[in-house]
Amino acid sequence: MVGGRFRVRGWSAGPYFVLINSLRDEPTVRVNGQEPPLRPPHQYSAADGFVVLQIEGTKEVDMGSWSSRHRVDAEILLDNPRVGQ
């Protein structure tokens, strides 16, 4: 079991999506302390082992505890096309 908390700060003025994959079981997810239902606009796929969260602005995401299908090395990459321009 693994747990993790991270802050997401999107560069878009509107909503954007965060993908968390390689999940073995349905995780406990909290966004800014609230547990969103994992149905549209969010999504959980047990068969494919992923969660997609629709987020707007800066949010703190807490994954609680979850099982990974793979070894987790805690790497988070956020792509911002405006960096370096």
Q: How far apart (Å, rounded) are the C-alpha atoms in residues 35 and 52?
A: 14
The string of pLDDT tens digits covering residues 22-65 is 888 888 888 999 999 989 999 999 899 889 999 999 998 888 75
Does residue 82 carry a pLDDT above 90?
no
pLDDT at site 2: 58
pLDDT at site 69: 52
pLDDT at site 42: 93
Between 24 and 80, the more confident residue is: 24
Burial tier of 81 (Cβ tally within 10 Å: 0-12, 13-18, 19+): exposed
Structural domain boundaries of the chain? 2-66
